[in-house]
């Protein structure tokens, strides 16, 4: 890995700053923030009032940003993990010249504005990640710092530090109480992510009162135990002290936590240091008094021209850095023509990994392969894709997520096999952070433990990030580990996350298709639900498995071509219904088998195609899935039957559990015969 060159950041305490102007600039940030909240009559004034100086110190003296190009690949990332303080960020973005006009601040929290209640990635220029659910920003930033290290290892070369950015952020006590931030902090400390620097807005107030009612741990000592550098600043108004602390953080090779003792609602005379300042507008009277306390006389949403100029000027340092970087990047292209196209793609996309059928493994009649195993083989086949990176939450041997061709991602070694530890939630957020960095990350765990990372999966979907989840051990088919490990309701739950593709392939070849879909997707996450147990391969010469890419298809038509009943299934239950089909056909009932591996894709198919696969007139339908039946009502009307599991699992060899739970060929045949008194195609 190439060594980073120093960016020539200012050394903290410097002369030459216009103290008075700086104070007015900080006040301007505060005043716009409370103006926004007042106008909306909704929002969180307390954080911006307390944290504006640290934000100013960071943005004015450290953060490399260029409002004219928010996608500049080498910009520093700023994460407002305490997303409820969104007006602080919107003020900063507006005042430093981002494409976020003052009018948008006036429409804070209104329909169609670019200033929603919590910052949203993709909606507002300069917002690096969606935050609000506490802990997520913290953990996503850790992922960004991991992504930065992977990118630097791949792209930087002697004299060409084209990847040379840092992750800065502001985190709150709420962020630090959430378990996800502990997981992520432990991981960041372990990995010694020195380019990660968080300011901790230590305001001693949470919604229920003083943090002393629930949060009395020694935060700095905790972070030190996790391998972090920490430093405290007692006077949140002291820009020099803040700068010195940030400079020390930049220097330190460990991730850094800069604890700043702030005062929520600073200078609001009746609500400072009170939970009342947190999530309630100050109201007209308190706003007036607060502005008076700051000596601020400008009308709402206005800033004196010279202060505006000063704040607009803050971007100059970043613009200069951007210009230097552009020159460097041009030379890089000439010096490393092999790497330039890779960099181009990782920096600006498209972030898809195209695959050709020829490069991927195929399985044939007689092969018996768990879909997790097939997944591992597909991964190995696409290991050369530059953006691909991934790992598991300490289940790599079970998830088949390890790529042998890669090294390990560890302190001092930047391979692409990630070891997240038993930290599913941190993994989920880290995947988001890496995807935001331009990589194509995947993460593995058992499907049951998707429950531990749901908030991060949701954010991936909300941000349209192309993360990939390798969820193995996807049903009671995992057997002896028992009900604590057997997913029942997880498929149903994941299928309701808007924009998430849930792909449960029926065999090794559908698994190949699932990976192709996932790697080709750029606008959202994909979850693969894979088996522990072996499944018979569906030979492409006999079955049109390539149609799995449409989300659902006729896997095997009735021999007569005129089905009287239809069997629908996903994953491991597909081979079961294929056997049932044979029995039914032998008994004279023409039967169609439909594989429905990815409903989100199927719903997007043209209606004509869907009606072809599931003819509306053919209401004799039996759906089989070893999971909660809830979602199947969509495909199986009142005249059909659903064979699912609406209770918890059991501990035994899996064949026994299937039998005891009635997931048998005999039962499917019986149900099919029951419903076949219904309609015909």
Residues 291-350 that bind a second copy (CB under 8 A): none
**What is the spatial distance between Cα 625 and Cα 563, in angstroms, rounded to a whole number?**
21
Give the Cα-Cα-Cα angle 649, 651, 657 (nearest 5 degrees). Answer: 65
**What is the spatial distance between Cα 454 and Cα 424, in angstroms, rounded to a whole number?**
9
* Residue 467 binding a second copy, by CB under 8 A: no
**Interface of this chain with a second copy, residues 177 to 196, rule: CB under 8 A:** 177-183, 186-187, 189-190
Total residues contacting a second copy by CB under 8 A comes to: 110
Cβ proximity to a second copy: between 73 and 477 the closer is 477
Cβ 424 to a second copy, closest distance in Å?
8
* Residue 656 binding a second copy, by CB under 8 A: yes
**Interface of this chain with a second copy, residues 243 to 302, rule: CB under 8 A:** 275
Of positions 637, 662, 666, 677, contacts a second copy by CB under 8 A: 637
Q: Name the H helices within 294-437.
A: 305-313, 315-335, 340-348, 371-381, 396-399, 424-436
120-126: Cβ within 8 A, 24+ apart: 120/462, 120/463, 121/436, 121/463, 122/463, 122/464, 124/90, 124/93, 124/100, 125/67, 125/70, 125/93, 125/98, 125/99, 125/100, 126/65, 126/67, 126/70, 126/78, 126/89, 126/93, 126/98, 126/100
Cβ 499 to a second copy, closest distance in Å?
8
Cβ proximity to a second copy: between 303 and 395 the closer is 395
**Interface of this chain with a second copy, residues 128 to 147, rule: CB under 8 A:** 130-134
* Residue 641 binding a second copy, by CB under 8 A: no
Q: What does the block give as tokens for 254?
A: 């460990």
Cβ proximity to a second copy: between 460 and 537 the closer is 460
**What is the spatial distance between Cα 466 and Cα 459, in angstroms, rounded to a whole number?**
11
What 3-state class would DSSP assign to 77? Answer: strand
Beta strand 209-210 pairing with 205-206: antiparallel
Of positions 10, 117, 544, 615, contacts a second copy by CB under 8 A: 117
**Interface of this chain with a second copy, residues 31 to 70, rule: CB under 8 A:** 40, 42-43
* Residue 174 binding a second copy, by CB under 8 A: yes
> What is the residue whose two structure tokens read 């004219």?
68
Contact 223, 185 (CB under 8 A): yes
**Interface of this chain with a second copy, residues 205 to 244, rule: CB under 8 A:** 206-209, 213-219, 221-222, 224-227
* Residue 653 binding a second copy, by CB under 8 A: yes
Q: What does the block give as tokens for 501?
A: 């593709």
**Interface of this chain with a second copy, residues 379 to 408, rule: CB under 8 A:** 392, 394-398, 408
* Residue 365 binding a second copy, by CB under 8 A: no
Cβ proximity to a second copy: between 27 and 186 the closer is 186
Looking at the annotation, which residues are catalytic?
424
- Select from 386, 384, 362, 381 the least CA-distant residue to 155: 386
* Residue 546 binding a second copy, by CB under 8 A: no
Residue by residue, DSSP assigns 10-42 as --SS-S---HHHHHHHHHHHHHHHHHHHHHHT-
Cβ 36 to a second copy, closest distance in Å?
12
* Residue 677 binding a second copy, by CB under 8 A: no
Contact 497, 461 (CB under 8 A): yes
* Residue 425 binding a second copy, by CB under 8 A: yes
Cβ proximity to a second copy: between 394 and 582 the closer is 394
Task: From 24-32, 550-558, 651-659, 663-671, give the range in contact with a second copy by CB under 8 A.
Answer: 651-659
């Amino acid at each position: 890995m190439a060594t980073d060159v120093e960016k020539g950041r200012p050394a903290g305490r410097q002369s030459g700053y216009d103290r008075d102007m700086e104070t007015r600039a900080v006040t301007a940030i505060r005043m716009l923030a409370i103006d926004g909240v007042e106008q909306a009559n909704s929002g969180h004034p307390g954080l911006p009032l307390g944290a504006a100086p640290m934000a100013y110190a960071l943005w004015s003296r450290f953060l490399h940003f260029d409002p004219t190009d928010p996608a500049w690949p080498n910009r520093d990332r700023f994460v407002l993990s305490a997303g409820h303080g969104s007006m602080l960020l919107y003020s900063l973005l507006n005042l430093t010249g981002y494409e976020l006009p003052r009018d948008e601040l006036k429409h804070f929290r209104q329909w169609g504005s670019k200033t929603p209640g919590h910052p949203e990635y993709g909606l507002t220029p300069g917002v690096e990640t969606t935050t609000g659910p506490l802990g997520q920003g913290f953990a996503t930033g850790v992922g960004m710092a991991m992504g930065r290290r992977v990118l630097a290892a791949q792209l930087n070369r002697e004299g060409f530090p084209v990847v040379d950015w840092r992750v800065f952020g502001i985190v709150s006590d709420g962020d630090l109480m959430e378990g996800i931030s502990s997981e992520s902090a432990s991981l960041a400390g372990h990995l010694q992510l020195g380019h990660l620097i968080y300011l901790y807005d230590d305001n001693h107030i949470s919604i229920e009162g003083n943090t002393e009612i629930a949060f009395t741990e020694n935060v700095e000592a905790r972070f030190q135990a996790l391998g972090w550098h920490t430093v405290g600043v007692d006077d949140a108004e002291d820009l020099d002290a803040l700068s010195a602390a940030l400079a020390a953080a930049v220097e330190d090779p460990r991730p850094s936590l800069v604890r700043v003792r702030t005062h929520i609602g600073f200078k609001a005379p009746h609500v400072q240091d009170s939970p009342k300042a947190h999530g309630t507008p100050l109201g007209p009277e308190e706003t007036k008094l607060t502005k008076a306390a700051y000596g601020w006389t400008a009308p709402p949403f206005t800033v004196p021209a010279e202060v505006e100029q000063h704040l607009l000027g803050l971007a100059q340092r970043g613009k200069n850095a951007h210009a230097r970087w552009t020159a460097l990047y041009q030379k890089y292209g000439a010096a490393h023509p092999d790497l330039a196209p890779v960099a181009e793609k990782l920096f600006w996309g498209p972030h898809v990994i195209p695959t050709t059928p020829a490069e991927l493994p195929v399985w044939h009649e007689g092969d018996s392969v768990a879909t997790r195993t097939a997944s591992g083989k597909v991964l190995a086949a696409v290991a050369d894709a530059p953006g691909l990176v991934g790992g598991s939450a300490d289940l790599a041997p079970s998830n088949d997520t390890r790529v042998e061709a890669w090294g390990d991602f560890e302190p001092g070694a930047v391979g692409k096999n990630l070891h997240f530890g038993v930290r599913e939630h941190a993994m989920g957020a880290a995947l988001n952070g890496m995807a935001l960095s331009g990589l194509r990350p995947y993460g593995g765990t058992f499907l049951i433990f998707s429950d531990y990372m749901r908030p991060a999966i949701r954010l991936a979907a909300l941000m349209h990030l192309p993360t990939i989840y390798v969820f193995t051990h996807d049903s009671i088919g995992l057997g002896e580990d028992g009900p604590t490990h057997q997913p029942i309701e997880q498929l149903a739950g994941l299928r309701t996350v808007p924009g998430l593709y849930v792909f449960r392939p029926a065999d090794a070849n559908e698994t190949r298709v699932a990976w192709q879909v996932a790697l080709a997707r750029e606008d959202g996450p994909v979850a693969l639900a894979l088996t522990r147990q072996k499944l018979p391969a569906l030979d492409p010469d006999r079955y049109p498995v390539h149609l799995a890419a449409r989300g659902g298809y006729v896997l095997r038509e009735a021999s007569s071509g005129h089905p009287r009943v239809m069997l629908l299934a996903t994953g491991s239950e597909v081979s079961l219904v294929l056997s049932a089909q044979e029995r039914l056909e032998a008994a004279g009932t023409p039967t169609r088998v439909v594989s429905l591996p990815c409903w989100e894709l199927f719903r997007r198919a043209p209606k004509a195609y869907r009606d072809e696969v599931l003819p509306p007139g053919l209401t004799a339908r039996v759906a089989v899935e070893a999971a909660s039946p809830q979602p199947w009502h969509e495909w199986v009307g009142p005249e059909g039957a659903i064979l699912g599991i609406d209770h918890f699992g059991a501990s035994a060899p899996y064949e026994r559990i299937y039998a005891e739970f009635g997931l048998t060929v005999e039962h499917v045949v019986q149900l099919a015969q029951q419903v076949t008194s219904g309609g015909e195609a």
